[in-house]
Homo-oligomer: A and B are copies of this chain.
Amino acid sequence: MSYRAPVSNQRLILDAVVGIHELDGGPEADMVDAVLEGAAALAEGEFAPLLRTGDTVGARWNNGAVTMPAGFREAWSSFVEGGWMSLAAPEEHGGQGLPFVLSAALMDNLNAANVGFALCPMLSMGAIEAIERHGSDDLKRDYLPKIVSGEWPATMNLTEPQAGSDVGALKTRAEPNNDGSWRIKGTKIFITYGEHDLSDQIVHMVLARTQGAPEGTRGISLFLVPKILPNGSANDLRCVSIEHKLGIHASPTCVMSYGDHDGAIGWLIGPEHGGMAAMFTMMNNARLNVGLQGVGIAERATQRAVAYATERKQGQRNRLPVPIAEHPDVRRMLLRMRALTMGARALAYYAFGQVDRAARGDAGAGLRAEVLTPLVKAWCTDIGIEVASLGIQVHGGMGYIEETGAAQHLRDARIASIYEGTNGIQAADLVGRKLGLDGGLAFDGLIADIEAETQDSRLIALTDAVEVAAATLRASPPDDRLAGSYPFLTMVSVMAAGWLLERMARSGGADDQTRAAASYFLASVVPEALGLGAAAESGAALLYAVPAEALA
């Protein structure tokens, strides 16, 4: 099944939800159209055809080198030559300075087309922002233009075997040289695109600990460590192996060894011990972008399921053979897939748009983006998994056969709820930090905006329930707050997505698909989320009634 970029839905969201034409110094309507159509052509023509070979052949490791499947290098060249890496990058470093939300539209398409491939540019985006905000002028001059162009893809090296969600436990060490550079030694795992043959140079962002640094996250520093040194020689780093994963087989997940010999040469990004701040610059973007993986995969799975269900004949209605899409429960699944996908897209683009407003000086939008980030990361990736799984179900037995393609979406989607901070960590962020941000006003402002706009009784009921749960959680000790964090996150996300869908359906640009999706979402998904209120407020005592071992 070929992929068709959802351009009209993207345009509607950019207009009715993001208000892209109201952005200070934002692009003209012509430019927005050109980007949407160009991104569609790139995703449909270059990335989508490589989805299955990316899965079946996948990235291959041999003696430190990683070979991408046939066609990937050429597609990457098209991407670079088309200037797509530079879309939202700053103009002073060779970027086009377009709104971040347009890169969201691009990544949405690339994720739908080939999420394992799209991870490569996604990681570069975070690196660009980290170097731009925290890097020295020399690093910016020497590295940014080529990362911005896409010629030198970048990576994020955070995780170590003992330091996953707990980044502060990392052990990689950095020692200073006399010339301002550092020598890095340590092993990093789960490094996405840590090695590949899409380019000769790869620029690694590596978290490490300097001598005498404080324990935990306060003692972490970020380094830029290139695969090839400025003098043209190979740096002391190596891809030791790649992982055998459930999905995203196109994406090489590398074990990276730094400094097997004298130490890998690197340069500080930001001040010593300033690694966490730089990392969060990368991560915040990456979290929104991972949310878009859920959106993109959901879109592709939905298109595939609709195509199958409108073709495959089975059973009868009124004594005539019909495609299975005509059976009520199959239709319910298709409509649910579409409604969840559209709701997730609206919520994600809305968050990207708030980041754009914040970049233009709107502090309130910045706070709103902070509140939305865990919702987008966690809920949109949960939606990706649910929609991909429904897609298999729609296909019946054929969905379980790998050649059909539906199963790959579930396998690919399953990682997104884990990396860049597990969804549980997102939920903890929501109830731990975001609920109290700006004295609680950041969160309450979202509620107030929804209450001021919605006219739907079911959404009003959910918003009321969210308010009650928020009040309970705020008044609760940390464990109780954490115990209810996940169901609370889902309620808040559904509330926000429902609000945006309702607005889209009422806007002048709404089409039938949008109205049908919004109707279903408000009639089914919103009431479901109401059922989560009890779990959100039920507290931690229940969870600790027996030791964990007793649950085996």
Contact = CB atoms under 8 A, between A and B. Distances in A.
A313 B166 CA distance: 9
A25 interface: no
Nearest to A6: B552
Most central of A427, A479, A527, A529 by chain B CB within 10 Å: A527
A393 B424 contact: yes
B245 A424 contact: no
Contacts of A385: 389
Nearest to A159: B397
Contacts of A531: 527-532
B542 A520 contact: yes
Oligomer: number of copies: 2
A52 interface: no
A328 B331 CA distance: 38
A239 to B, nearest CB: 16
Interface in A368-416: 385, 389, 392-393, 396-397, 399-403, 407, 410-411, 414-415
A513 interface: yes
A246 B400 contact: yes
Nearest to A528: B531
Contacts of A284: none
Contacts of A552: 4, 302-303, 306-307, 310
A432 B338 CA distance: 27
Contacts of A415: 400
A332 B487 CA distance: 11
Interface stretch (A73-81, A206-214, A543-551): A543-551
A325 B535 contact: no
Contacts of A303: 552
A399 to B, nearest CB: 7
A483 interface: yes
A335 interface: yes
A461 B381 CA distance: 32
Contact of A545 (B247, B327, B515): B515
A540 B418 contact: no
Interface range on chain A (Cβ under 8 Å from partner) = 35 or more
A485 interface: yes
A428 interface: yes
Given A329-B485, A396-B418, A407-B246, A545 B516 contact: yes
A524 B534 contact: yes
A30 interface: no
Given A306-B548, A306-B552, A245 B483 contact: no
A175 B301 CA distance: 44
A247 B402 CA distance: 9
Interface string A244-263: 11110000000000000000
A128 interface: no
A435 to B, nearest CB: 15
B546 A513 contact: yes
Given A397-B419, A401-B244, A428-B329, A516 B546 contact: yes
Nearest to A479: B328
Contact of A551 (B335, B424, B519): B335
29 contacts: A4-B552, A164-B314, A165-B314, A165-B315, A246-B392, A246-B400, A246-B401, A247-B400, A302-B552, A327-B482, A328-B483, A328-B485, A328-B543, A329-B483, A329-B486, A331-B544, A331-B548, A332-B486, A334-B548, A335-B542, A396-B422, A410-B414, A516-B545, A519-B542, A524-B534, A527-B533, A528-B528, A528-B534, A529-B531
